[in-house]
Amino acid sequence: MASMTMTRALALAEKAGLKVAGATTINGTRVYAVPSHSDAGHVHLVTIANGVAECDCKGYQYRGLCSHAAVAYAAYEMEVKADAARRQAAADAADREDAASAYADDNGFDRGDYLEYRGM
Ligand SMILES: [Zn+2]
């Protein structure tokens, strides 16, 4: 049984031009559709649960990793990073709002007064 690293699997996937064609969430599990490289018209389904990617192809059954799982996992990581960035931006905005409210309270005016002062 040949061993394969995620890095090597991803390199093979990129060489073969494999890309995630679609993704959805079913019962909390991310599912990615990755078109087969060898069998045109066939799509492999990769599920990612608890950070582990599993593919329905034979390669995955033999090696526990395949190029489909690699591209799906790479897409999943990008989604996780984008989610974290969105959450951080929302938290930063909330912090700014809190700071503005605290400043207004400390200085004896409320938001309504401020908006009136600004002619809004
Ligand atoms: Zn596969």
Model pLDDT for residues 56-92, shown as the tens digit of each residue = 999 999 999 999 999 999 999 999 999 999 999 999 9
Question: How far is ligand 1, taken at its centre, from the CA of residue 81, in Å?
Answer: 24
Residue 103 lies in a domain: yes
Residue 110 lies in a domain: yes
Residue 75 lies in a domain: yes
pLDDT (0 to 100) of residue 1 = 41
Residue 1 lies in a domain: no
Question: How far is ligand 1, taken at its centre, from the CA of residue 16, in Å?
Answer: 13
Note whether 55 and 68 are within 8 A (CB): yes
**pLDDT at residue 119 tops 90:** no
Residue 47 lies in a domain: yes
Question: How far is ligand 1, taken at its centre, from the CA of residue 50, in Å?
Answer: 18
Number of domains in the chain: 1
Residue 97 lies in a domain: yes
Question: Model confidence over 95-108: pLDDT tens digits?
Answer: 999 988 888 888 88
Question: How far is ligand 1, taken at its centre, from the CA of residue 28, in Å?
Answer: 21
Question: How far is ligand 1, taken at its centre, from the CA of residue 5, in Å?
Answer: 14
In percent, the amount of the chain with pLDDT more than 90 equals 60
Residue 99 lies in a domain: yes
pLDDT (0 to 100) of residue 39 = 85
Residue 73 lies in a domain: yes
Range of the domain at 38: 6-117
Question: How far is ligand 1, taken at its centre, from the CA of residue 120, in Å?
Answer: 58
Note whether 45 and 56 are within 8 A (CB): yes
